[in-house]
Chains A and B, each alone.
Chain A
Amino acid sequence: MIGLNHYLIVSGLLFSIGLMGVIRRKNLLMLFFSTEIMLNAANIAFAAASYFYNDLAGQMFAFFIVAIAASEVAVGLGLLILIYKKNGTLDLDDLATMKG
Chain B
Amino acid sequence: MENLVYIALFAPFVSSLFALMFVMVPKQTFVGIVASMLLFISFLASSILAYHIVMTNEVIYVRMMDWIVVGNLSIPFGFVADHVSVTMMVVVSLVSTVVHIYSIGYMDHDRSFNRFFSYLSAFVFSMMVLVMSDNFAGLFIGWEGVGVCSWLLIGFWYHKKDVTRDINPSISPSWAANEAFIMNRIADLGMLVGIFIIFWNTGSLQYDVVFPKLSEIAVISPEILITAAIALFIGAMGKSAQFPLHTWLTDAMEGPTPVSALIHAATMVTAGVFLVIRANPLFGMEEVAGVSYFIASLGTFVAFFAASMALVNRDLKRIIAFSTLSQLGYMFAAAGLGAYWIALFHLAAHAFFKALLFLGAGNVMHAMHDELDIFKMGGLRKKMRWTWGYMGLASLALAGIWPLAGFYSKDAIIESAFNEGNLILWAMLVITAGMTAFYSFRQVFLTFHGDERYKEFGIHPHEMYKYVLIGMSPLAILAVVAGWGKDWFEGFVTNLLPAYKMSEHTHHLVTTLTIIVSVFAVSGILIAAFKYIRGLKRSEKMENSFIYRLLANQYYIPQLYAEMISKPYAELSNIFWKSIDMKIVDATVDAIANIVYKSGDGSRKMQSGNLSNYLAWMTFGAVALLIAALISSVLG
What separation, in Å, do the CA atoms of A93 and B619 have in the docked complex?
18
Q: Is the CB of B611 within 8 A of A92?
A: yes
Report the stretch among B247-255, B506-514, B602-610 that lies at the interface. B602-610
Q: Is the CB of B611 within 8 A of A100?
A: no
Q: Is the CB of B609 within 8 A of A96?
A: yes
Which A residues lie within 8 Å of B609 (CB)?
96-100
Q: Is the CB of A100 within 8 A of B612?
A: no
Q: Would you mind naming 19 contact pairs between A and B with Cβ atoms under 8 Å apart?
A: A19-B619, A22-B619, A23-B612, A23-B615, A23-B619, A25-B612, A92-B610, A93-B610, A93-B612, A95-B611, A96-B609, A96-B610, A98-B609, A99-B607, A99-B608, A99-B609, A100-B604, A100-B607, A100-B608
Other CB < 8 Å A-B pairs besides A22-B615, A23-B619, A96-B608, 7 of them? A19-B619, A22-B619, A95-B610, A96-B610, A96-B611, A99-B610, A100-B607
What separation, in Å, do the CA atoms of A26 and B619 have in the docked complex?
15
From B618, which residue of chain A is reached at the shortest CB distance? A22
Which A residues lie within 8 Å of B610 (CB)?
92-93, 95-96, 99
Which B residues lie within 8 Å of A93 (CB)?
610, 612
- With an 8 A cutoff between CB atoms, is B55 at the interface? no
From A91, which residue of chain B is reached at the shortest CB distance? B612
Which residues of A (1-57) have their CB < 8 Å from a CB of B? 19, 22-23, 25-26, 31
Which A residues lie within 8 Å of B604 (CB)?
100
- Choose from B606, B607, B608, B616 the contact partner of A23 (Cβ within 8 Å): B616
Contact with B along A57-94 (1 / 0, CB 8 A): 00000000000000000000000000000000000110
What separation, in Å, do the CA atoms of A93 and B78 have in the docked complex?
81
What separation, in Å, do the CA atoms of A90 and B619 have in the docked complex?
21
What separation, in Å, do the CA atoms of A100 and B613 have in the docked complex?
13
Decide if the interface of chain B is mainly helix, strand, loop or mixed. Answer: helix
From A19, which residue of chain B is reached at the shortest CB distance? B619
From A92, which residue of chain B is reached at the shortest CB distance? B612
Which A residues lie within 8 Å of B616 (CB)?
23
What separation, in Å, do the CA atoms of A2 and B41 have in the docked complex?
109
What separation, in Å, do the CA atoms of A42 and B611 have in the docked complex?
24
Which B residues lie within 8 Å of A92 (CB)?
610-612
What separation, in Å, do the CA atoms of A19 and B622 have in the docked complex?
11
Q: Least Cβ distance of B609 to chain A in Å?
A: 4
Which A residues lie within 8 Å of B607 (CB)?
99-100
What separation, in Å, do the CA atoms of A96 and B615 have in the docked complex?
13
Q: Least Cβ distance of A24 to chain B in Å?
A: 8
Which A residues lie within 8 Å of B619 (CB)?
19, 22-23
Q: Least Cβ distance of B626 to chain A in Å?
A: 12
Q: Is the CB of A26 within 8 A of B608?
A: no
Q: Least Cβ distance of A58 to chain B in Å?
A: 22
What separation, in Å, do the CA atoms of A29 and B556 have in the docked complex?
93
Q: Least Cβ distance of B490 to chain A in Å?
A: 89
Contact with A along B303-322 (1 / 0, CB 8 A): 00000000000000000000
What separation, in Å, do the CA atoms of A98 and B615 have in the docked complex?
15
What separation, in Å, do the CA atoms of A98 and B609 have in the docked complex?
4
